[in-house]
Structure 1
């Protein structure tokens, strides 16, 4: 678990990021959560307070494709998966919410995977 100092830094960073962005039904917020083993992403319409779509490394459609791959490659596949789901719903643009995580590694790979499938942000 992160130390109190690290957690305080993460909380400040998350608040700073969230103060600047907000999602809508037409352009939802793509929120990322990263654990030590998995990565989760959800498209949130903040004006309605609802999750429109979600994907993660434990989702059935992604899990079958990521056997024996590195976590960065798995994150890229999660990005592709959420992009396909949103494209099927007719959503082309989102607002990317990295949360308290730096735009590096798995978070960046997820964003790159979503962009590869045509999602704009």
Structure 2
């Protein structure tokens, strides 16, 4: 970890604490770019993505003006919860990455909780 920038260090710190608290639960990972937001449910034991959703998908893009809003994040949160339940995943651990739990990241998390995910 010698040459990581501040963002990568913060992300690694969050992941380290998540791994300790996960108890075998899959991780709901969020990536937020300036124009889009992406979410994945990852089984770290196997290294597989169990479900994913983003504002880049055709059906989501049509209903939104831009992928960079709190509303767009909420749509992705509902979608990831729906797909996770279909894949048989109910309990996850939330991985905010290097982002603070605020705004789009918070909106995605709350929508996923409303959709039926436990974390």
TM-score higher than 0.5: yes
Show the counterpart of 1:65. Answer: 63
Structure 1 spans left out of the alignment, 5+ residues: 1-6
Show the counterpart of 1:9. Answer: 6
Q: Matched residue of 1:21: which SS?
A: helix
Show the counterpart of 1:89. Answer: 87
- For residues 1-57 of structure 1, the C-alpha deviation after alignment (integer angstroms, 9 at most, x for no partner) is xxxxxx833222111101011368x73101111100000111110000111111000
Alpha-carbon separation, structure 1, partners of 2:57 and 2:103: 21
Alpha-carbon separation, structure 1, partners of 2:18 and 2:105: 17
Deviating 4+ runs (over 4 angstroms): none
Choose 53-62 or 98-107, whichever is displaced more. 53-62
Structure 2 spans left out of the alignment, 5+ residues: none
In the alignment of these two chains, the number of paired residues is: 114
Choose 93-102 or 52-61, whichever is displaced more. 52-61
Relative to the length of structure 2, the TM-score reads: 0.86
